[in-house]
Chains A and B, each alone.
Chain A
Amino acid sequence: MIAAGEYFPLTRLSVLAAARSPDGTERARALEILFSSYWKPVYKYIRLKFSQSPQDAQDLTQGFFAELLERQLLSRFDPAKSRLRTYLRLCADSFALNELKAASRKKRGGEFAHVALDFSAAEDELRAQAIDPASIPSPESLEDFFEKEWIRSLFSAAVEELRGVCEAREKQKAFQLFEAYDLAGEENVSYGEVAARFSLPLTEVNNQLAWARREFRLIASARLRALCGSEEEFAQEAKTLFGVSTR
């Protein structure tokens, strides 16, 4: 796993390119990044789309990543044709369908011992989200769901990394403020409330939050860039991810 606080490799070489690298260490690290970013969206997606029990969804998720390696599916990905995320979702679809059709499934995924797949946490999240599979009526909604879960996965990892960066730079206060304001639950809080809670002047809250958000954006952008198949895909993804009106 990537240690908290360790900056994500700011490299032009995408995870995809690294995953195809002849260098075994680089390839393993790239796959680790890829799996740690995608396993949770894939798991939740399989759980909902195919109405699988947690145990079966776990088997399918691990099996899918095993298949990704065994059949070298990443080498068939063409960035000109689709986004990496769409490709992986379609691969997961196809894999799950085939597995469910098969009379018996072999349990796989032992190869991923180095990637901690905390399925119980994913189940807790699904419960926290209170998602009723029946409320997802169309394939499009499931695609949106997968997209959202992928963003959640990417941002969660970036937040953890930011936490580490703040600790390393002794800026824990900035992270606490970021947590209190940006990561707060469903209710919005005001800068004033945060300032009062931390007994800080408003300007300090403003400055600390600006710094934390800037760092977060840098980290999330670096992770995003590494997970994209091309510069064009990165530009599009960055726009999709952060491209909301900022009025």
Chain B
Amino acid sequence: MTFLSDKALERLRSSEAADFSGTRYKVREFIARGGMGVVYAAEDEKLSRRVALKVLDTPDANGELTGRLMREARILAQLEHPGIVPVHDVGVLPGGRVFYSMKFVEGLRLDRYIVQLDSLPQRLRLFLRVCDAVAFAHARGVLHRDLKPANIMVGSFGEVLVMDWGLAKILREPSLSGDETLLTFGQKANSESDSTPSTVITGHGTVMGTPGYMSPEQARGETEKIDARSDIFSLGAVLKFIAIGGAQGKSAALARPLLAICAKATAESPNERYAEVSDLAADVSLYLDGMPVSAYAENFLERFKRFYKRHEVAILLIAAYLVMRVLVLLLFRR
């Protein structure tokens, strides 16, 4: 038997490079490793545009993994929303590996982008756009199940895109038959320097999602209990991450109503969480507008402070006017 040197082993291991010969795509560079496969930046030679290609790790014709990747592509194809990365094409490479092409998003992952944003209102508005995309998916009966900063991209024009729907679960979709649960294999969501916790391996009745972002029912592997409120838990964790300005931020600096929103979204029991993503988004919008939020019962002093903060200019003008009036009255009395 041939003895293979270490160098030969290395060559053979990297020979898994996807073979795109005979397709319309020319691979430019490796981007990252996703749950089920590798993502490359490529050029669509027919349309002369840059695309991202997600390719299954191994040839698995008609296999389980192929089914999962295809279903992920189909889910994405049905979720036409500006906040969800669009799929262009699916196919099989000469080596038998299945792939799909999608929009190439130029930008930064949320966890890297957020540290550049100093303004809390700006960060919260960005979060509201994430909520829009997730609410849209929920309206179409699709749960993401792996929402985390590393799975959210912010494009160069500020567009927000929710990525990696490999763990998505279809709640109702007659055209997508079979096992309702889409599962990705793999321990890392991204092979590049991803400092966020990685996606946990999953299987029927077992744990799926990312520690720190997955709901308690997900962490316990109670797949039958997972619904929109599980995504709301993840969104709550994302909100906290965004509000404190990244992993290095401190939650102590956050206002109580905002902390209460995060706490309600990430409540242990699904029944104590927001029922819909739109409810969570509404509370964040109210907070941004300086209005009372449903998650927090404020006392009189807090109500006054908030009222003052919201109408600071008007209150100061009225106060100044009143002071002037008093001064004028006093002067005329003399």
Contacts and interface: CB of A to CB of B under 8 A. Distances in A.
Interface of A: 118, 121, 124-125, 128-129, 148, 151-152, 155-157, 159-160, 181-188, 210, 213-214, 216-218, 220-221, 231-232, 234-236, 238-239, 241-247
Interface stretch (B56-64, B245-253, B270-278, B315-323): B56-64
B3 A151 contact: no
B9 A235 contact: no
A246 B30 contact: yes
A156 B3 contact: yes
B34 to A, nearest CB: 11
B72 to A, nearest CB: 15
A183 B4 contact: yes
B200 to A, nearest CB: 12
A216 B30 CA distance: 22
A185 B14 contact: no
B191 A243 contact: yes
A156 B9 CA distance: 9
B192 to A, nearest CB: 9
Given A216-B15, A235-B58, 7 more contacts: A183-B11, A185-B5, A210-B21, A241-B16, A243-B33, A244-B13, A244-B14
B191 A214 contact: no
Contacts of B57: 235, 238-239, 242-243
Contacts of A188: 7
A215 to B, nearest CB: 9
Contact of B186 (A186, A213, A231, A239): A239
Main secondary structure of the interface of B (DSSP, over half): loop
B298 interface: no
Interface string B2-25: 111111110111111111010000
A181 to B, nearest CB: 8
B41 to A, nearest CB: 10
A238 B55 CA distance: 13
B201 interface: yes
A58 B48 CA distance: 61
B29 A155 contact: no
Interface residues of B, number: 39
B80 to A, nearest CB: 30
A69 B76 CA distance: 49
13 contacts: A121-B1, A155-B4, A156-B1, A183-B8, A185-B7, A186-B7, A232-B185, A232-B201, A232-B203, A244-B16, A245-B191, A246-B14, A247-B30
Given A244-B13, A247-B29, A247-B30, A214 B8 contact: no
Contacts of B21: 210
Contacts of A242: 13-16, 57-58
A160 B2 contact: yes
B95 A151 contact: no
Contacts of A217: 15-16, 58-59, 95
A217 B57 CA distance: 11
Q: Determine which residue in B6, B17, B30, B191 has the highest number of CB atoms from chain A within 10 A of its CB, and name it.
A: B17
B58 A152 contact: no
